[in-house]
C-alpha cells in the first residue's frame, strides 16, 4: 500500500495479562472449524468417517478446555491466556481472546455438551450437513464466550444464528419452518440493535480517548452520561433479553425449543441461552454500571415474572418437550435475577447457575429425546409406567429432575441458593417472590415424572417395546449425572475460579456507581461471598 | 471570417490511459468482428475482453502509484481528476471487466448470441463508469453517464429472440432517457446558479458566496439528485430495475447491476461531497429519505418475490440504501465505507447472477425459486457457493458483506445518524430472511419431492469459464472478509486524497 | 432535520396535486353521461371504420439506414467546424479528429460487415440446425426463418 496512512495505536492494553505461550483459546476456536472444513471436503457417502471427524474435533475442544481449566489461575481476577492480533485496525476490530472466571465454565459447558449432543442424538439423514452446522455452531458459541473484542463477540454471536436456523429448519419437528423463522427474526432484530449500540459505544469511547477500539476492557473505561448509558444499556439488553430469553421477549423460545431437533434443543437451552445472560453480566454490568444499577429493579421484576410465568405455563403443558422448554425459561429467570441483584453472591450464583442450568436442561432434553425415539410422542397422556419398563432411565430422570428442582446435594441447589441469598440481602421482596418459583417447579416436575414413569402399564403398552437405556445412551447421560452430583457436593473448585472475576466486576459496578450521587443505596451490600 | 484564438488544452493522455485502453480495445474488437465475421467464438472475445481489462487494470495501478507518489492532479482542462477516488473506481471497473466476461461467455454462446457485440458494449460501459469516477466537471459527468447508460440499454435488449429482453431494453431506455434529461436540466440550473460546471469551481463559489435567492441552485441540485437516484435505483426511482433485471439476458445482468451501481455512485458521491457539501443541510434530509425508503422497500418487497432475479433486484435496491448511508454520514469515513460496500457488492452480485444464470439454464430458463429446490443435492459445490454469496449479501460474518454493512453503519453512527442505522439493521434483518429462504430451499429436504420426481436431476455441469468467475468472486468475498486490511486501506486512501 | 420544514410547500403541493387528479377522475365518473356506441369505441373518433390495419408494413431496414444516415450526418456536423478553424487547432486538432474518425470508421466497417447496407432478400446467416442440439425452441426458430426466406 503505497499511501501512508495515519498510524493506528496498538490496542493491547495493560489490563490484559501477558500473552500466553501456547494459544489454547485460538485452537479452541479453530478445532471445530477445521473439523467442519474436513467434513465439507468429504463426499457425503462416507457417513462413518464424517461422524468420526465430528466427534474427534468436538473431543479435541474438550481436551483443550481441560488444559485451559488446568492452566487457569485462581489468583487472578482479570483475563487469562489472552492473545491479541490486529485484524481490521482501521475499524478498531482486533482478534482478541481470553477467559476469566465468568467465561471459563461456560466454555467448559459448551465443550462438554457438544460431544454429548453429537454422540447422543445424531439424526440419520444428511449427516454431512448436520455435522457441519453443529461444528460451526460450536465455533460460534466458543468464540462468543472467549472474545475480548466487542465486535469479535458480535461476529461469533451472529455466527451462531445461521447454524441454528438450519438445524431447526432442516431437522426439526412438524412446526419447524415457522419456529426457525421466528427464532431467526427475533434474535436478528435483537442483534441488529446490538450492533448499532456497540458501534455507538465505540465512538463515544473514541470521542473521549481518541482511540477507536472495540476492546472490551478498554470500553469498560468509557464514561457515559445518564441518557447515553440508559439508551446503550437498552440496546444491548434488548439483544441479550431476546437471546436468554427474558420475559416478555421469550415468545420465540418455546416454539424453537420444542420444534428443534433434540441436539438443537440441547444447544439452544443448554448453551445459547447462556449467551444472553453472559452478555448481560459481561457487557451490561461492565459497560453501563450506572444504568444497570438504575434499571436493575425493572429487570429483577422481569426475572421474577419470568420465573413465575414460566413455571405456571410449564405446569399447564401436556407436551413433555414443551414442559421442559418452559421450565428452562422459568429457570433462566433465576439467572437474570442473580445478575441484576448486583451482589457478589448473586452474580457468582448466576454464573454458576448458568453452568448448572446448562447441564440439567441438556440432560432433560436428552431424556425427552430418548423417550421420543422409543414412543414417537411427547404427549404426557400417552406415556405411562415407564419406570417398570426402563428403571435405569427412570433413575437418571429422577436425579436430573431433582437437580432442576433444586434439591440440596445436586447442582441446581447451589446456584439457586447463592442467587436467592445474594438477592435477599439487596432486594428482599424479589427474592421472596422468586422462591415460590422453586415450589412451582417442584410441582410440575414431580407431576410430569409421576405421569410418565409411574402408573400401570397395559398389555398393549408392554407389547410396544420400550427398551431400557442403551450403553450408548448411558455413555451420554452418565457424564452429565456425574457432573450434576459433583457440582452439587463439591462446587468449591468452580466457585474459587468464578469469584475473583465476579467480585472484581461487582466492585467495578459499585465503584462507578459511587461516583454518582444516588449511590449510597448499595454501600451496605456485602461484596464478599462468605467463605 | 472570424479571427479565432483558441486556447488548446494540453491533454495528459496517461491520466486517462485506462479509459483509452478500454475504448481502444473496444475498437479493436469492433474491427475484428467486422473483418473476421463469426469465425471467433464468444469465448475468444471474452478472453480478449479480459486481456483488455487486465491492461486497463495495470495502467490503473500505475496511475495509483503516481498519485501515491506525487499526489492528485487534474488533467484535460481540469475536467478529469486523477486522485485516490478516481483510481479506486479505475481499479474496481477494470476488475469487474476481468470477471464479468467469465459469466457471459458460455451463456451467450448457448443462447446463440455469437459475436463480440456484448463485449464491445461492456467495454464502452466500463469506460463510462471509469469516467464517472474521474469526472470533475458536470458536462463530463453527463457524457460519462451517457457513455455508461446507452450500452446498458442495448445490453438489456441483447437477446433479440426473447420478447422480455426487448421489453426490458425499452423500459430501461425510456426511463433512462427521462432521467438523463432531468439530469441535464439539473446541470443547466446548477450552472446558472453558480456560473461554472467545474465541480471544484462550484464548491469554491458556494463556499465564498451566499446566494440570496437559492431557488435555482436548489432546483438544480434536486434534479441532479433525481438523475443519480435513478441510476443507482434508489426508491422511489427504482421502478425500472426489477423489470430490467428480470427481462435482461441472464448472463449479463450481473454486469449491468454492478457497473450501473458503481458508475452511478462514483459520480453521485463526487458531485455531492466535493461540489455541494455547503448545501448538505438541504440535500441530506432528501438523501436520508431516499436511503430509508430504499432500505425498507428493497427488503420488504423482496420478501414476496418468487423469481430469484427479481428478488436480487430488490435486494440490490436494499444495498443501494446501505451505500447511501455513507453519503448521509458526509465524512471521509462515510465515503470510504460506501466505496468498500461498492467493492464488496460488485463481486457478490456478479457471482450471484452468474450462478442464477447456470441454474436457470439447467431448468429450461426458469429463475423461479423452485428451480433452486434440491440444488444442494444436485450440485452441492455450486449450492455451497451460492449460499456463500447469499449469506454475504445478508451480511454474514467473515465475508465482505458483513464488514461492508458494519462499515456503513459505523459511519452513520459516527455521524450521529442513529435512526438510519437502526432502520438499516432492521431492514438487514428482513433481508436475511429471504436470502436464507433460498439457501434453505437449496439444501432442505425433499425426500418426498424426490418421489414426485423432477426428471432432470442430473448435476449441473459448469464450464471452466463460470468456475473461474465464481472462484474469483468467492476469493474477493471471503479473503477480504477475513483479512479486510488492504481493501479498507485502499478505500480510506481513496478518500484521503479526496478534495 | 429541522430544515425539513422548508419542504412543507412541496408536500402541500403533492397533496393538492393528488387531490386534484382524484377529484377530476371521480367527478368525470359521476357527471359524464355514458352512451357507448360501436362508432365511438372505434379507434378513430371521427367515426370512420378502419378497413385495414395501420401502420402499413414496410422493411425495418429503412430504420437502420435512417439511423446510419443520422450518424454520418453528425460526423459531418463535427467535421465542418473543425475544418473552418483547422489552422488554429494545429496538431492537437489533427490528432483529435483522427481519433474521432477512426471510431466512426471502425463502426462503419462493422456495419458493412454485418450487412447493414445490403439490400434484397434476407440472407440466413446462422443455420440453426448446424451444431446446436435440437430443442423445441431451435425448431421453432428454424421454421420461422424458413418462412422468412420463402
pLDDT in tens, A151-207: 999 989 988 888 888 888 888 888 888 888 888 888 888 888 898 899 889 888 888
DSSP for B154-218, written as a single string: HHHT--TT-HHHHHHHHHHHHHHHHHHHHHHHHHHHHHHHHS--BHHHHHHHHHH---SSTHHHH
Q: Is C9 on the interface with B (CB under 8 A)?
A: no
pLDDT tens track for A303-322? 999 999 988 898 888 888 88
Q: What is the pLDDT of residue A460?
A: 67
- B22 - beta bridge partners? none
Q: Give the pLDDT band of residue A19 (cuts 50, 70, 90).
A: very low
Residue A11 and residue A86 in contact, taking contact as beta carbons nearer than 8 Å? yes
Could you tell me the three cell numbers for B92? 474496481
Q: How many Cβ pairs closer than 8 A exist between chain A and B?
A: 106
What CA–CA distance (Å, rounded) separates A419 from A338? 5
> Is A192 an 8 Å CB contact of chain B?
yes
In a domain, B8, yes or no: no
Among A109, A46, A55, A32, CA closest to A472: A55
pLDDT over threshold 90, residue B257: yes
Give the CA angle between residues B104, B108, B110 to the nearest 5°: 125
Whether A531 is covered by a domain: the verdict is no
- Residue C2 confidence class, pLDDT cut points 50, 70, 90: low
Q: How many residues are there in chain C?
A: 150
According to the model, what pLDDT value does residue A527 have?
38
- Model confidence band, residue B170 (pLDDT cutoffs 50, 70, 90): very high
Residue A96 lies in a domain: yes
Residues from chain C that touch B161, judged by Cβ atoms under 8 A, are 141
CB B191 within 8 A of CB B138: yes
Q: Does residue B202 form part of some domain?
A: yes
Q: What is the pLDDT averaged over residues A467-494?
A: 87
Span B232-252, pLDDT tens digits = 999 899 999 999 999 999 889
pLDDT value at position B220?
Answer: 93
Bridge-based pairing state of the strands A80-88 and A93-99: antiparallel
Q: What is the pLDDT of residues B102-160, one digit of tens each?
A: 999 888 888 888 788 899 999 999 999 999 999 999 999 999 999 999 999 999 998 88
B432/A188 Cβ within 8 A: yes
Q: How confident is the model at residue A15 (pLDDT cuts 50, 70, 90)?
A: very low
CB contact under 8 A, B490 and A1: yes
Q: In the predicted model, is pLDDT for residue A388 greater than 80?
A: no
The reported pLDDT for the residue numbered A452 is: 81
Chain A residues close to B379, C-beta within 8 Å: none
Predicted pLDDT at A384: 76
Report how far apart the first and last C-alpha atoms of chain B are (Å, whole number): 43
pLDDT digits (tens, 9 = 90+) for A437-462: 888 888 888 888 888 888 777 766 66
C residues 15-54 closer than 8 Å to B (CB): none
Q: pLDDT at position A87, please?
A: 81
* Residues from chain B contacting residue A155 (CB–CB below 8 Å): 397-398, 402
Amino acid B395: pLDDT: 87
Using the 8-state DSSP alphabet, how is residue A167 labeled?
H
Q: What are A81's three cell numbers? A: 491466556
pLDDT at A528 > cutoff 80: no
Ramachandran category for residue B112: left, alpha or beta (phi over 0 → left; psi -120 to 50 → alpha): left
From chain B, pick out residues whose CB is under 8 angstroms from the CB of A199.
406, 409-410, 413-414, 421
Strand B73-75 and strand A93-99: the pairing is unpaired
For A87, the enclosing helix (H) or strand (E) is strand A80-88
Q: Would residue A13 count as lying in a domain? A: no
pLDDT digits (tens, 9 = 90+) for C3-19: 667 888 889 999 999 99
Which residue in A97, A108, A124, A122 sits closest to A66, CA to CA? A108
List, in sequence order, every residue forming a beta bridge with A94; answer none if it has no partner: A86
Flag whether A18 is in a domain: no
The pLDDT of residue B4: 57
Q: Is 80 exceeded by the pLDDT of residue B488?
A: yes
Indicate whether A385 pLDDT > 90: no
**How much is the pLDDT for C50?**
63
Q: What is the pLDDT of residues A222-270, one digit of tens each?
A: 888 888 889 899 999 999 999 888 888 888 888 888 888 888 888 888 8
| Nearest residue to A312 (alpha-carbon basis) of A292, A333, A296 | A333
Closest CA to B380 of A140, A126, A35, A171: A126
The kind and range of the H/E element at B81 are strand B80-82
Tell me, what DSSP letter sits at residue B455? S
pLDDT of the residue at A42: 84
A203 touches chain B (CB under 8 A): yes
Please give the pLDDT value at position A8.
Answer: 33
Q: Could you give the percent of chain B with pLDDT greater than 70? A: 95
Give which of B415, B420, B432 to mutate to test A binding, by max A Cβ within 10 Å.
B432
Report how far Cα A442 is from the mean position of its chain's Cα atoms. 23
Predicted confidence at residue A10, as pLDDT, reads: 36
Buried/exposed code over B163-172 (b: 16+ C-beta within 10 A; e: otherwise): eebbbbbbbb
* pLDDT per position as a tens digit, B442-477: 876 554 444 444 445 678 888 888 999 999 999 999
CA A219 – CA B406 distance, rounded (Å)? 18
Query: Predicted confidence band at C52 (pLDDT cuts at 50, 70, 90)?
Result: low
Q: Please, which residues 77-106 of chain A have a Cβ atom closer than 8 Å to chain B?
A: 87-91
- Tell me how crowded residue B311 is: count the other CB atoms within 10 A of its CB: 26
Kindly report the average pLDDT of chain A as a whole number: 83
Q: What percent of chain A has pLDDT over 90?
A: 15
Distance from CA of C85 to the nearest CA of B (A): 8
Q: Is A479 part of any domain?
A: yes
As for how many domains chain B has, the answer is 1
Confirm whether A530 is domain-assigned.
no
Distance of alpha carbon A299 from alpha carbon A284, whole angstroms: 12
Residue of A nearest to B68 (CA): A3
How is residue A476 written as a grid cell? 451420554
Contact (CB<8Å) B30/C112: no
Mean pLDDT to the nearest integer, A415-432: 87
pLDDT attached to residue A531 = 33
Range of the domain at A387: 24-522
Q: Which three cell numbers stand for residue A264?
A: 438443537
- The model's pLDDT over C78-125, given as tens digits with 9 standing for 90+, comes to 888 888 888 888 888 888 889 888 888 888 888 888 877 777 665 555
Say whether A155 and B402 touch across the interface (CB within 8 A): yes
A5 in contact with B, Cβ within 8 Å: yes
pLDDT reported for residue C7 = 83
**Dist. CA A32–CA A48, nearest whole Å:** 17
Q: Is residue B5 part of a domain?
A: no
In order of A330, A527, B189, the CA distances from A265 in angstroms are: 16, 36, 64
> What is the residue range of B309's domain?
13-496
Instruction: Output the 3-class SS for A101-123.
Output: HHHHHHHHHHHHHHHHHHHHCCC
Instruction: Write down the pLDDT at residue B450.
Output: 44
Highest mean predicted confidence (pLDDT) among A211-215, B75-79, B216-220: B216-220
Residue A499 lies in a domain: yes
CB contact under 8 A, A196 and B447: no
- Comparing CB atoms, the residue among B425, B486, B497 nearest residue A1 is B486
Q: What gap in Å lies between CA A414 and CA A417, rounded to an integer? A: 5
DSSP state of B137: B
CB A60, CB A486: distance < 8 Å: no
For residues A167 and A260, the answer to whether their CB atoms sit within 8 Å is yes
Please name the member of B384, B413, B496 whose beta carbon is closest to the beta carbon of A196.
B413
Mutate to test the interface with B, among C113, C117, C131, C134 (most CBs of B within 10 A): C113
Domain count, chain A: 1
CB B336 within 8 A of CB B343: no
Nearest to B68 among A3, A89, A169 (CB): A3
Hey, what's the cell of A4? 501512508
Report if residue B318 sits inside a domain.
yes
Does A333 map to a domain? yes
A162 touches chain B (CB under 8 A): yes
Classified as helix, coil or strand, B458 is: coil
Q: What is the pLDDT of residue C143?
A: 46
Flag whether pLDDT at C40 surpasses 80: no
Does position B30 have pLDDT exceeding 60, yes or no? yes
The three-state (H, E, C) secondary structure of A272-314, written as one string:
HHHHHHHHHHHHHHHHCHHHHHHHHHHHHHHHHHHHHHHHHHH
Neighbouring chains of A at 3+ CB pairs within 8 Å?
B
Residue B414 contacts A where some CB pair is shorter than 8 Å: yes
* Cis peptide upstream of residue C55 (ω within 30 degrees of 0): yes
Share of chain A above pLDDT 70, in %: 91
B329 and A CB contact within 8 Å: no
What is the pTM assigned to this prediction?
A: 0.82
Asked if the peptide bond before residue B346 counts as cis, ω within 30 degrees of 0, the response is no
Query: Greater confidence, B7 or A516?
Result: B7
In this prediction, residues C57-71 reach a mean pLDDT of: 81
Query: Chain B interface residues facing chain C, Cβ-Cβ under 8 Å?
Result: 1, 4-6, 8, 11, 23, 27, 30-31, 33-35, 37-38, 112, 114, 161, 281-282, 285, 288
Most confident stretch, A426-430, B352-356, C71-75: B352-356
Q: Which helix (H) or strand (E) holds A96?
A: strand A93-99
Please report the pLDDT score of residue B175 as a whole number. 93
- CB–CB of B93/B262 below 8 Å? yes
Contacts of B387 (CB under 8 A, 6+ apart): B439, B442, B443
* B113 interaction partners in chain C (CB closer than 8 Å): none
**A162/B84 touch (CB, cutoff 8 Å), yes or no:** no
- pLDDT score of A108: 92
B contact residues 421-440, partner A, Cβ 8 Å cutoff:
421-422, 425-426, 428-429, 432-433, 436, 439-440
Amino acid at each position: 500500500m503505497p499511501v501512508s496512512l495515519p498510524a493506528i495505536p496498538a490496542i493491547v492494553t495493560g489490563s490484559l495479562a501477558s500473552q500466553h505461550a501456547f494459544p489454547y483459546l485460538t485452537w479452541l476456536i479453530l478445532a471445530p472449524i477445521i473439523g467442519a472444513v474436513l467434513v465439507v471436503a468429504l463426499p457425503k457417502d462416507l457417513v462413518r468417517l464424517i461422524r468420526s471427524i465430528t466427534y474427534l474435533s468436538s473431543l479435541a475442544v474438550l481436551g483443550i478446555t481441560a488444559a485451559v481449566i488446568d492452566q487457569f489461575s485462581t489468583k487472578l481476577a482479570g483475563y487469562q491466556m489472552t492473545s491479541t492480533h490486529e485484524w481490521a485496525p482501521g475499524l478498531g476490530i482486533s482478534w482478541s481472546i481470553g477467559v476469566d472466571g465468568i467465561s471459563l465454565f461456560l466454555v467448559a459447558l459448551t465443550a462438554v455438551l457438544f460431544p454429548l449432543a453429537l454422540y447422543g442424538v445424531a439424526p440419520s439423514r444428511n449427516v454431512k450437513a448436520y455435522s457441519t452446522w453443529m461444528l460451526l455452531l460450536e465455533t460460534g458459541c466458543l468464540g462468543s464466550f472467549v472474545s475480548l473484542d466487542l465486535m469479535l463477540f458480535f461476529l461469533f454471536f451472529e455466527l451462531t444464528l445461521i447454524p441454528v436456523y438450519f438445524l431447526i429448519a432442516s431437522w426439526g419437528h412438524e412446526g419447524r419452518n415457522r419456529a426457525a423463522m421466528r427464532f431467526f427474526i427475533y434474535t436478528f432484530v435483537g442483534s441488529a440493535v446490538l450492533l448499532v449500540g456497540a458501534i455507538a459505544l465505540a465512538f463515544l469511547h473514541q470521542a473521549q480517548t481518541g482511540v477507536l477500539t472495540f476492546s472490551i476492557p478498554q470500553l469498560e473505561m468509557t464514561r457515559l452520561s445518564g441518557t447515553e448509558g440508559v439508551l446503550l444499556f437498552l440496546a444491548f439488553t434488548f439483544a441479550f433479553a431476546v437471546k436468554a430469553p427474558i420475559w416478555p421477549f421469550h415468545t420465540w423460545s418455546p416454539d424453537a425449543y420444542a420444534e428443534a431437533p433434540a441436539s438443537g434443543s440441547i444447544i439452544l437451552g443448554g448453551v445459547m441461552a447462556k449467551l444472553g445472560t453472559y452478555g448481560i453480566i459481561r457487557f451490561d454490568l461492565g459497560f453501563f454500571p450506572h444504568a444497570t444499577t438504575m434499571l436493575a429493579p425493572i429487570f429483577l421484576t422481569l426475572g421474577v415474572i419470568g420465573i413465575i410465568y414460566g413455571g405456571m405455563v410449564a405446569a399447564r403443558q401436556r407436551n413433555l418437550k414443551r414442559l421442559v422448554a418452559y421450565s428452562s425459561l422459568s429457570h433462566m429467570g433465576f439467572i437474570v435475577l442473580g445478575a441484576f441483584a448486583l451482589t457478589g453472591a448473586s452474580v457468582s450464583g448466576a454464573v454458576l447457575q448458568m453452568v448448572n442450568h446448562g447441564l440439567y436442561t441438556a440432560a432433560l432434553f436428552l431424556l425427552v429425546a430418548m423417550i421420543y425415539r422409543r414412543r414417537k410422542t411427547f404427549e404426557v397422556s400417552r406415556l405411562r409406567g415407564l419406570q417398570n419398563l426402563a428403571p435405569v432411565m427412570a433413575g437418571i430422570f429422577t436425579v436430573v429432575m431433582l437437580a432442576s428442582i433444586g434439591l440440596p446435594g445436586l447442582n441446581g441447589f447451589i446456584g439457586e441458593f447463592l442467587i436467592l441469598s445474594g438477592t435477599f440481602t439487596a432486594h428482599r421482596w424479589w427474592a421472596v417472590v422468586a422462591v415460590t418459583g422453586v415450589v412451582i417447579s417442584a410441582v410440575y416436575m414431580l407431576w410430569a415424572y409421576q405421569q410418565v414413569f409411574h402408573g400401570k402399564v397395559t398389555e398393549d403398552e408392554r407389547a410396544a417395546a420400550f427398551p431400557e437405556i442403551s450403553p450408548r445412551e448411558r455413555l451420554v447421560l452418565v457424564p452429565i449425572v456425574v457432573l450434576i452430583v459433583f457440582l452439587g457436593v463439591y462446587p468449591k473448585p468452580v466457585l474459587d475460579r468464578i469469584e475473583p472475576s465476579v467480585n472484581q466486576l461487582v466492585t467495578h459496578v459499585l465503584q462507578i456507581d459511587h461516583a454518582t450521587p444516588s449511590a449510597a443505596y448499595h454501600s451496605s451490600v456485602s461484596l464478599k461471598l462468605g467463605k | 471570417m472570424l479571427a479565432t484564438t483558441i486556447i488548446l488544452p494540453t491533454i495528459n493522455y496517461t491520466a486517462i490511459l485506462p479509459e483509452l485502453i478500454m475504448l481502444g480495445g473496444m475498437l479493436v474488437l469492433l474491427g475484428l468482428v467486422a473483418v473476421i465475421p463469426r469465425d471467433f467464438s464468444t469465448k475468444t472475445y471474452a478472453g480478449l475482453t479480459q486481456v483488455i481489462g487486465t491492461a486497463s487494470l495495470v495502467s490503473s495501478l500505475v496511475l495509483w502509484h503516481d498519485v501515491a507518489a506525487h499526489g492528485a492532479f487534474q488533467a484535460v482542462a481540469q475536467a478529469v481528476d486523477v486522485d485516490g477516488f478516481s483510481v479506486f473506481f479505475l481499479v474496481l471497473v477494470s476488475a469487474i471487466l476481468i470477471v464479468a466476461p467469465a459469466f457471459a461467455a458460455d451463456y451467450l454462446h448457448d443462447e446463440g448470441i455469437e459475436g463480440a457485440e456484448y463485449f464491445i458494449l461492456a467495454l464502452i460501459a466500463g469506460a463510462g463508469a471509469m469516467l464517472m469516477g474521474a469526472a470533475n466537471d458536470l458536462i463530463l459527468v453527463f457524457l460519462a453517464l451517457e457513455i455508461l447508460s446507452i450500452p446498458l440499454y442495448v445490453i438489456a435488449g441483447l437477446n433479440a429472440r426473447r420478447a422480455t429482453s426487448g421489453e426490458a431494453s425499452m423500459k430501461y431506455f425510456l426511463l433512462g432517457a427521462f432521467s438523463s434529461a432531468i439530469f441535464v436540466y439539473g446541470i443547466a440550473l446548477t450552472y446558472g446558479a453558480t456560473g461554472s460546471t467545474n465541480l471544484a469551481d462550484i464548491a469554491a463559489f458556494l463556499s465564498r458566496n451566499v446566494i440570496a435567492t437559492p431557488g435555482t441552485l436548489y432546483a438544480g441540485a434536486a434534479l441532479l439528485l433525481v438523475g443519480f437516484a435513478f441510476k443507482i435505483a434508489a426508491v422511489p426511482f427504482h421502478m425500472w430495475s426489477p423489470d430490467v433485471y428480470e427481462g435482461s439476458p441472464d448472463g449479463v445482468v450481473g454486469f449491468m447491476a454492478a457497473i450501473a451501481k458503481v458508475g452511478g455512485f462514483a459520480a453521485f458521491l463526487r458531485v455531492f461531497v466535493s461540489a455541494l457539501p455547503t448545501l448538505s443541510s438541504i440535500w441530506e434530509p432528501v438523501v436520508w429519505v431516499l436511503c430509508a425508503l430504499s432500505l425498507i422497500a428493497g427488503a420488504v418487497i423482496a420478501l414476496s418475490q418468487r423469481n430469484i432475479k427479481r428478488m436480487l433486484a430488490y435486494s440490490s435496491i436494499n444495498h443501494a440504501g446501505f451505500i447511501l448511508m455513507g453519503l448521509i454520514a458526509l465524512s471521509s469515513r462515510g465515503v470510504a465505507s460506501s466505496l468498500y460496500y461498492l467493492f464488496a457488492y460488485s463481486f457478490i452480485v456478479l457471482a450471484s447472477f452468474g450462478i442464477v444464470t447456470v441454474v436457470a439454464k439447467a431448468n429450461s430458463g426458469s429463475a423461479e425459486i423452485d428451480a433452486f429446490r434440491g440444488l444442494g443435492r444436485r450440485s452441492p459445490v455450486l449450492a455451497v457457493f451460492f449460499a456463500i454469496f447469499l449469506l454475504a449479501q445478508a451480511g454474514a460474518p467473515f465475508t465482505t458483506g458483513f464488514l461492508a454493512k458494519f462499515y456503513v453503519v459505523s459511519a452513520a453512527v459516527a455521524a450521529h445518524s442513529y435512526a438510519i442505522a437502526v432502520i438499516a439493521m432492521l431492514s438487514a434483518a428482513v433481508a436475511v430472511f429471504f436470502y436464507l429462504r433460498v439457501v434453505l430451499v437449496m439444501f432442505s429436504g425433499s425426500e418426498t419431492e424426490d418421489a414426485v420426481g423432477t426428471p432432470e436431476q442430473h448435476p449441473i455441469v459448469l464450464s471452466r469459464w463460470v468456475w473461474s468467475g465464481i472462484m474469483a468472486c468467492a476469493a474477493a468475498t471471503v479473503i477480504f472478509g477475513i483479512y479486510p486490511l488492504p481493501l479498507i486501506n485502499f478505500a480510506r486512501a481513496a478518500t484521503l486524497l479526496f478534495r | 432535520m429541522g430544515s425539513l420544514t422548508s419542504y412543507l410547500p412541496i408536500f402541500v403541493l403533492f397533496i393538492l396535486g393528488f387531490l386534484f387528479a382524484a377529484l377530476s377522475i371521480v367527478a368525470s365518473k359521476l357527471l359524464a353521461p355514458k352512451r357507448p356506441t360501436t362508432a365511438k369505441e372505434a379507434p378513430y373518433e371521427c367515426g370512420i371504420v378502419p378497413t385495414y390495419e395501420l401502420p402499413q408494413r414496410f422493411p425495418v431496414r429503412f430504420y437502420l439506414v435512417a439511423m446510419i444516415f443520422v450518424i454520418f450526418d453528425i460526423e459531418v456536423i463535427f467535421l465542418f467546424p473543425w475544418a473552418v478553424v483547422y489552422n488554429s487547432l494545429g496538431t492537437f486538432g489533427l490528432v483529435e479528429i483522427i481519433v474521432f474518425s477512426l471510431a466512426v470508421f471502425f463502426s462503419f466497417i462493422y456495419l458493412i460487415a454485418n450487412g447493414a447496407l445490403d439490400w434484397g432478400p434476407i440472407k440466413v446467416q446462422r443455420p440453426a440446425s448446424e451444431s446446436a442440439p435440437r430443442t423445441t425452441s431451435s425448431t421453432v426458430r428454424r421454421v420461422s426463418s424458413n418462412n422468412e426466406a420463402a
